[in-house]
């Protein structure tokens, strides 16, 4: 569906018997960090209106996190946001940031469902 790219497959490939929850832990850290970055960004918008360089710095940080985990749709929207910053288009930035937040929320739901399925399929109790 385009939410993830091959980078997430590489993260999953790092999972092994010694660290069976590696991907879930990485995703959990991603959401903790990305949520913090987005809150910082919202504060920057309020405290520093039309400070496009500051806004761009925050969005670059979020885009980097998205790239490392393979969150392609969020990353692509971060790119759109950064383009609006380059144009100094505050309205475009605002609309784009709403899309970033929406894509982030959808991705979170999808990952929660995915890991729930993985968890239940690996730990189904046997009744002998």
Local structure of 46: helix, strand or coil: helix
Inside any domain, residue 121: no
* Entry pTM: 0.82
Query: Does a structural domain hold residue 89?
Result: yes
Biggest CA–CA distance in the chain, Å, is 66
Looking at the domain assignment, is residue 115 inside a domain? Answer: no
Q: Tell me, what's the pLDDT at 120? A: 53
Give the Cα separation of 57 and 50 in Å (integer): 13
Q: Report if residue 79 sits inside a domain.
A: yes
86 token code pair: 């380059």
- The parent domain of residue 33 ranges over 6-107
Reduced to 3 states (helix: H, G, I; strand: E, B; else coil), residue 126 is coil
In a domain, 22, yes or no: yes
Cβ neighbour number for residue 127 with a 10 Å cutoff: 4
Q: How many domains does the chain have?
A: 1
CATH number at residue 16: 1.20.120.160
**Domain-located, residue 44:** yes
pLDDT digits (tens, 9 = 90+) for 2-49: 888 889 889 888 888 888 888 888 999 999 999 999 998 899 889 998
- Residue 115 — very low, low, confident or very high, per pLDDT cuts 50/70/90? confident
Q: Quick check: is 113 in a domain?
A: no
> Does residue 122 belong to any structural domain of this protein?
no
Q: For the segment 52-107, what is each residue's pLDDT rounded down to a tens digit? A: 999 999 999 999 999 999 999 999 999 999 999 999 999 999 999 999 999 999 99
């Amino acid at each position: 569906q385009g939410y993830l790219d091959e980078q997430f497959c590489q993260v999953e490939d790092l999972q092994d018997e010694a660290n069976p929850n590696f991907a879930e832990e990485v995703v959990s850290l991603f959401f903790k960090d990305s949520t913090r970055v987005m809150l910082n960004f919202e504060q920057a918008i309020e405290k520093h209106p039309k400070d496009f360089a500051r806004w761009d710095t925050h969005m670059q940080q979020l885009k980097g996190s998205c790239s490392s985990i393979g969150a392609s749709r969020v990353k692509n929207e971060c790119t759109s946001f950064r383009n609006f910053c380059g144009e100094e288009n505050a309205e475009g930035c605002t609309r784009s940031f709403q899309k970033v937040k929406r894509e982030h929320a959808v991705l979170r739901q999808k990952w929660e469902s995915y890991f729930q399925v993985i968890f239940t399929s690996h730990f189904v109790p046997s009744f002998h």
